[in-house]
Structure 1
Amino acid sequence: MAEVTAALVKDLREKSGAGMMDCKKALQETAGDMDAAIDWLRTKGLSKAAKKSDRAAAEGLVAGKVSGDGKTGVVIELNAETDFVAKNDTFQQAARDIAAVALGVDGGVDAIAAAKTAKGEVVSDLITNLIATIGENMRLRRAARLSVSQGAVALYLHNAQGEGVGRMGVLVAMEGAGDTAKLAEVGRKIAMHVAATAPLSLSPADLDPAVVEKEREIQTEIAVESGKPREIAEKMVEGRIRKWQEEVVLLKQPFVMNPDQTIEQLVADTAKDLGSPVAVKGFVRFALGEGVEKKVDDFAAEVAQLSSQS
């Protein structure tokens, strides 16, 4: 069992928004398991947090690029140790160069790393030279590529740090015939929506079954905690699952620029305007550093330790 320290309680409080004593109780009940503690708080109605804090846990840049015909787009994440590097012109240009390479590579990070830039430099060598020049450890962490046979792929870079680079990148693939400029415009609006709402999937069918089952268990426990018999609670849960899907599935979400309209309705209206079928074929959202643990130096603790040794 992990020790329930003040730091652990503070971390849970920041992630859940729950009270300090409730966080301590949650950690005690779940043997110090952070994810389980968040779920425990939710079942008790003490937290609205469904996911971990979205604070960036790694530095660097997300770079994006769309092909000249507008039918293919890529985003890549190039990490470094400090946020100062993101402002470095050489680092920014390297991120742009790698995104340009990724446009022509139908493969993952390893394939991109082995490919050459327009200047003839292998991407892995480019990164190695950057490390030697700037003096920080770096890595090409991930990359994604979307294409359509007809239509447009839209790119949105949030919190831009320079041309073609930012702290978040979103691609949306709009498939359809007709006015590609209109499709690209709508796609960009949907990309901005994705940046703001972070949907889990495109449609209900695309949701991870394990995530759905976990949400079902949480909602069932909430209903039981309210005093309802389990058979009634289970019926209530189906409605709550549908409501949850409206919050996490892109096509079901209310459009941030017009909350009276869902993304699904926006796409249907676009199809009507163009006079031909339109569909969102996919989306990608890269937020810098998400899912990466970042070391936080406790300088006060270090000073105390040094003092005790002197």
Structure 2
Amino acid sequence: MSAITASMVNELRQRTGLGLMDCKKALVESGGDQEAAIDHLKKNGAIKAAKKAGREASEGTVASYIHMGGKVGVMLELNCESDFVAKNEDFQNLARDIAMHIAAAAPVAVSREDVPADLIAKEREVAEAQAEGKPAQAIEKIVEGKVNKFLSTVTLLDQPYVKNTDQTVGELLTESIQRIGENIKVRRFARFAIGE
């Protein structure tokens, strides 16, 4: 195992935005391998973020984003636990980035639970019609697969994040919870587009 140097810890800190001790511990546990350390931190961060997800997020900000010369606009309420974090530049930038994502990707709901039942029913009908003629035991799997695919494209938390399509907006929030240290939730949004 190679010695863990301050520059290695600093590089990992720059890449992840996490504290020095977390970065050093991850490097020690991964034998100095930066990529393995990042994987370790992601796994740990997801656990820490999950613990924070149960805490109440009653502070926050309302962010707006206007795009395409005033043709598309978004208002977003992003919540956190404290007024201190709500005023933090990192949190404010996160809110603007999510509002920009909403302008570009046009989700219909924050999460799967928020998608209107009639919209899901319509999608299920379309999927059943498309699966017609297939073996009976396969139809249900085909329909469920198509409905799940539909939900992943219309719910904000399941959509690939427009600035980094390797992660979903939900994963972006989990990463932000880990970095900022408080529970963060998208409470609601409204997207306006001329002619829609």
- Sort the TM-score into its range (normalised by shorter chain): 0.5 to 0.7
1:155 aligns with 2:46: no
Structure 2: runs of 5+ lacking an equivalent: 1-56
Which one-letter code corresponds to 1:266 in the other structure?
A: L
Alignment of 1:155-234 (within 5 A): 155-160=64-69, 166-176=70-80, 177=82, 178=85, 180=87, 181-224=89-132, 227-234=133-140
Alignment of 1:106-121 (within 5 A): none
Distance 2:94 2:169 in 1: 10
Distance 1:240 1:267 in 2: 26
Distance 1:253 1:153 in 2: 21
| Equivalent pair of 1:168/1:195 in contact (CA under 8 Å) | yes
Residue 93 of structure 1 corresponds to none
| Equivalent pair of 1:251/1:262 in contact (CA under 8 Å) | yes
Q: Percent identity?
A: 39
1:278 aligns with 2:187: no
SS at match of 2:68: strand
Which one-letter code corresponds to 2:79 in the other structure?
A: E
Alignment of 1:4-83 (within 5 A): none
| Equivalent pair of 1:170/1:191 in contact (CA under 8 Å) | yes
Residue 210 of structure 1: how far off its partner (Å): 0.7
Alignment of 1:243-258 (within 5 A): 243-258=149-164
Residue 238 of structure 1 corresponds to 144
* TM-score in terms of structure 2 length: 0.65
User: Considering only aligned residues, what root-mean-square deviation do their CA atoms show, in Å?
Assistant: 1.5
Which one-letter code corresponds to 2:120 in the other structure?
A: V
Residue 190 of structure 1: how far off its partner (Å): 0.9
Distance 1:204 1:228 in 2: 27
Larger radius of gyration: 1
User: 1:155 and 1:287, CA in 2 relative to 1: closer, same or farther beyond 3 A?
Assistant: same
SS at match of 1:228: coil
Among 171, 175, 188, which residue is 1:265 paired with? 171
Between Structure 1 and Structure 2, the one with more strand by share is 1
Which one-letter code corresponds to 1:158 in the other structure?
A: H
| Equivalent pair of 1:168/1:286 in contact (CA under 8 Å) | yes
| Equivalent pair of 2:59/2:86 in contact (CA under 8 Å) | no
Residue 179 of structure 1: how far off its partner (Å): 5.2
Q: Deviations over 1:197-225 (max 9, x none)?
A: 1111111111111110110010111111x
Structure with bigger RCO (C-alpha 8 Å, 6+ apart): 2
Which one-letter code corresponds to 1:172 in the other structure?
A: L
| Equivalent pair of 2:152/2:159 in contact (CA under 8 Å) | yes
Residue 230 of structure 1: how far off its partner (Å): 3.6
Residue 235 of structure 1: how far off its partner (Å): 2.2
Distance 1:286 1:279 in 2: 21
| Equivalent pair of 2:61/2:86 in contact (CA under 8 Å) | no
Distance 1:152 1:182 in 2: 12
SS at match of 1:277: coil
Which one-letter code corresponds to 2:152 in the other structure?
A: E
Distance 2:195 2:122 in 1: 25
Which one-letter code corresponds to 1:229 in the other structure?
A: P
